[in-house]
Structure 1
């Protein structure tokens, strides 16, 4: 499953229809008809996203959303309001209560699913950096974050200069951030107001033939080094649901349909800038605080010190969410003979190449570390035994089938790896559970070595 979702709706038919749609999209779905039961399910099941019908005023759903947002875990819980009127005032009320977005009646399935995917992607990135930040704190890098409390930079991109100027004035009145205007028709310039923007507000209320330009703009913002982390809010003409879905899947963070009231626009903008600046802060804390102490200088991967601490964070997250995680230990076969035959420079080149291949073939949320001379560890959150096995076999084949070119050697080096896997089964192994799982994966690696090398071995629980 790609995420856990809770549907709160008093109408049984609406709950059933929505559950069928989300199950078909491979989500793990729970349902209930009131906020009191929802609170119990959230405590027990820890969903990633909540869809709550805000039209039932007898159940105080707006107050419920506000309590969720301000309660434990509220900073990573995605909340989508449904059932409200298609008006800027109603959308503002939902957003002000803590909802991340509002889906008005008659929303298309494509936009519904695209919005869920977009918000879950943003949530997962935030959770990843929070876990890494927790690891840095556990290692003693608890830096003061007050230095990051500074105004953000917003760039309004508009084809109509008059409409763009009005957007700038609205945002300047309601926010403390710097707001600048740029011409949408000129594309994304290398310098000027687009450089290092924290948020792009794109007025896309224009004709059909310019949609390709808009799609290219979103892709360009995401691809450029100085804007790749910038948030993107697109304002579309009312009814452009298909375009909205495509934009969200291309990387837009939020889409609003005109007319957008000033209060709604300011609230959406404020939330996007705050999230972006917070993520910048977390990234900077991890990068600057950890690099010297916990990065292996040869490969650029994390070292054993970091891996052991970060495994504790992954285990805590798995315990809190009830999800599995996998540990994979990889060892280069006959590595000593590489050093003895070709020299340590060739051995170093092999280690660096394998590290690069590991980085390229696993997810951003996966922990990749060098934990010994030729031994590497990959920890994979939210991963089953089956998926870990598939990933390990893919990596083993890639290494075995792709020789390594080493400077000064006429013939590329053919190497192979053996892999051991262990998957958390939520067994009661005490506070040393991650270390115990590491030991099981290491034992599985030893079996792979003993059985002939260049293979994957999986620890099978006796439970």
Structure 2
């Protein structure tokens, strides 16, 4: 997305293009103009718009042709498209929504409504682009395809917020007859019934001149539970000022002129489908981030997580004066287990070791697998006595119970050696010439080496930086 936001205006009538350019340029948007479907692909590649405003009818095609062209190009499939239709042409408005337009504006329209609609759509696209950047395969190693088709949504939960019970009942019955969604009704301005239990996928809010509906929209958009919920405002007339304010407060769409069942049903299908796609992308990003910080074999945190976590713990330690401990644990003679029972047997041992380490440590800290048979245990806010006691318990949890492998008649004895470094904030602050985290880990590693040299199956503490 460009700094200003690039908007492509498509219209066969030059005066219409000029009028839109004047309106949008005054709001500091960069405007690109076109008049036909022919040559549009090249124009898109050259200008890369963030939003398309198109007349319903073009000299050589329609807004639907524009939509199809963008949808078939992965680079532009998520660019929002607004169709411009004649005033009071409800059939054209519904047809445009049925063709998948992100919104429809009736010409002529006020600057306030136009700019509010542009701001809202550009804001949504910017959020989606941020998600795609976070999920980019080249940057973090996972993502969905650049463009995923919008699958038909399953039955969604729809909440209707109206001023009177009779309006809510009437709207619910009309919508229930035309959609497969589960619909509930609630009274403004009470949100408790909406926010309790399972959160709705979409909320329809009746808007009036008293501001109650606008406040509800802002409230819903600001809450973590409903941040990504589809919000549709419904006005009783063509109040452009109210509609613009609702869009700026967080509405995804505005339905002017009262409850139009056909229009609302179409908008719900499009907006819920997009919410489904965006939710799937957010889940993909969360799962990918979790996987990037987790060891795939044991389910423990990995080295990447451990290094970040130690850095945070060290910073908190410097601020609070609390000590923390780092332990490096290495299974003794693990190579002989792999040699005798194969890597499958070794993996079973590593997984069980991870379970025992986590169970033994509990919420006193975290465990990470650094690689091979080496593990790291970190305990924030602890003392030397507590850390040593915990290390001994960990050591005992491994050696006291031999390991069982499938198809093996005998149990396998396993022991572990642990090197412990207790970090005092003053000595951490003194490490000016070296990376303090690296110094801590090397100290724990020296303690681990000492434990190995002393006969294994024991704990050794590193007393100083020497």
TM-score (norm: length of structure 2): 0.58
How far, CA to CA, are the matches of 2:81 and 2:217 in structure 1? 25
Match of residue 110 from structure 2:
108
**Distance in structure 1 (CA, Å) of the matches to 2:157 and 2:315:** 52
The one of 17, 20, 24 aligned to 1:18: 20
The residue aligned with 1:151 is: 155
Q: Give the whole-Å Cα distance in 1 for the aligned partners of 2:303 and 2:157.
A: 39
Q: Please, which of 118, 128, 131 is the counterpart of residue 129 of structure 1?
A: 131
Q: From 114, 117, 120, give the equivalent of 2:119.
A: 117
Alignment of 1:170-209 (within 5 A): 170-185=174-189, 187-189=190-192, 195-204=198-207, 206=208, 208=209
Describe the SS at the equivalent of 1:155: strand
C-alpha offsets along residues 377-398 of structure 1, whole Å, 9 cap, x if unaligned? xxxxxxxxxxxxxxxxxxxxxx
In structure 1, the partner of 2:71 is 70
Are the equivalent residues in 1 in contact too, given 2:86–2:108 (CA < 8 A)?
A: no
Partner of 2:317: 345
Cα displacement (A) at 1:191:
5.7
Cα distance 1:200–1:149, how it changes in 2: closer, same or farther (>3 A)? closer
Which stretch shows the higher mean deviation, 82-91 or 232-241? 82-91
Find 2:30's aligned residue among 17, 28, 40.
Answer: 28
Q: Contact 1:129–1:282 at 8 Å: present in 2 too?
A: yes
Give a deviation string over 1:195-238, Cα, whole Å, max 9, x none.
5111111122x4x3x22x11211121122222122111001122
**How far apart are 1:294 and its partner, in Å?**
4.1
Instruction: Give yes or no for contact 2:161–2:205 (8 Å, CA) kept in 1.
Output: yes
SS of aligned partner of 1:19: helix
Whether the 8 Å CA contact 2:10–2:55 is kept in 1: the answer is: yes
In 2, Cα distance between equivalents of 1:21 and 1:66:
23
CA distance in 1, matches of 2:151, 2:319: 43
Write out aligned runs for 1:370-389 (5 A).
none
> Contact 1:164–1:181 (CA<8 Å) still a contact in 2?
yes
Shift in Å, 1:65: 3.0
Matches within 5 A, 1:57-456: 58-73=59-74, 74-135=76-137, 139=141, 150-185=154-189, 187-189=190-192, 195-204=198-207, 206=208, 208=209, 210-211=210-211, 213-294=212-293, 345-346=317-318
Bigger Rg, structure 1 or 2: 2
Aligned length: 311
8 A contact 1:11–1:33 mirrored in 2:
yes
Q: Give the Cα separation in 1 of the matches to 2:151 and 2:318.
A: 44
Contact in 2 for aligned 1:52/1:80 (Cα 8 Å):
yes
Q: Is the 8 A contact 1:63 1:97 kept in 2?
A: yes
- Which ranges of structure 2 fall in alignment gaps of 5 or more residues? 295-301, 306-310, 322-423, 430-466
Unpaired runs of at least 5, structure 1: 296-302, 307-335, 350-407, 414-463
Partner residue in 2 for 1:50: 52
Cα distance change on mapping 1:228 and 1:194 into 2, 3 Å: farther
Shift in alpha-carbon separation, 1:148–1:71, aligned structure 2, 3 A: closer
Determine the C-alpha separation between the residues in 1 that align with 2:151 and 2:118.
33
| Partner residue, 1:327 | none
The one-character-per-residue Cα deviations of 1:238-267 (angstroms, maximum 9, x if unpaired) are 221001111111111111102453222111
CA contact (8 A) 1:95 1:102 kept: yes
